[in-house]
Amino acid sequence: DTAVSQTPKYLVTQMGNDKSIKCEQNLGHDTMYWYKQDSKKFLKIMFSYNNKELIINETVPNRFSPKSPDKAHLNLHINSLELGDSAVYFCASSQEGIEAFFGQGTRLTVV
Amino acid sequence: QKEVEQNSGPLSVPEGAIASLNCTYSDRGSQSFFWYRQYSGKSPELIMSIYSNGDKEDGRFTAQLNKASQYVSLLIRDSQPSDSATYLCAAINQGGKLIFGQGTELSVKP
């Protein structure tokens, strides 16, 4: 049973399109995150939700909108995709103050 | 200044040697520290967590934390080619954010 699962694993799309990435965790954790990993492998935090409430919103374009229907799910919707959005996006979950578990990542390629 | 900093490497060690990975953090209020390993094309996986000053050992891995110096390290004893990966240092800062360093690429040569 996968603890943190993301779909899709690969996403290839054209500039200007809108796309969503879904994330689900079955660990009972209260906190979920979205990270972006660029080509240099740097993992940059984008958003953090605690019990469905947004608690961290880093400086990301408004085109990125997270949605948490319940504490086990955190989806990421991206509008008007740009070439620079190409990266690997990771979802993660944790219980407060302890280690985070990551999903398998979604490799987004914008062409 | 980045909140969590690591030498980006690459760090190359011969098989059987000790690999030493270092990390510093800027938020003195950080309480929880982690080392993740990431193989190419895979997601980060936790290998060590450390919360108090001193050493913590788990098999071939030893994490060291010095809060006064704001320094975290990871030692890998008897390094194996399968240890070749990027190692990510992370800290939960006072604001509750899990922040990562830029990662250190480790290469273990047979």
Q: What is the DSSP string of A54-96?
A: EEEE-S--TTEEEEEEETTEEEEEE-S--GGG-EEEEEEEE-T
A vs B: CB pairs below 8 A: 54
pLDDT lower than 70: segments of chain A = 1
* Rounded Cα–Cα distance for residues A44 and A52 (Å): 21
E-assigned strands of B26-109? 32-38, 45-50, 54-58, 61-66, 71-76, 85-92, 98-100, 104-109
Residue of A nearest to B6 (CA): A42
Other CB atoms within 10 A of residue B34 CB: 24
The reported pLDDT for the residue numbered A1 is 65
Q: Map residue B22 onto helix, strand or coil.
A: strand
* Rounded Cα–Cα distance for residues A54 and A26 (Å): 19
B82/chain A closest Cα distance in angstroms: 19
**Cβ-based interface (< 8 Å): residues of A facing B:** 33, 35, 40-45, 48, 50, 55-56, 90, 92, 94, 96-105
When pLDDT is averaged across residues B100-108 and rounded to a whole number, the result is: 95
A5/chain B closest Cα distance in angstroms: 11
Tell me the sheet residues that pair with B17: none
A79/chain B closest Cα distance in angstroms: 25
When pLDDT is averaged across residues B53-68 and rounded to a whole number, the result is: 96
When pLDDT is averaged across residues B70-81 and rounded to a whole number, the result is: 97
Tell me the sheet residues that pair with A88: A37, A107
The reported pLDDT for the residue numbered B96 is 82
* Rounded Cα–Cα distance for residues A61 and B80 (Å): 42
Interchain proximity B31–A97, CB inside 8 Å: yes
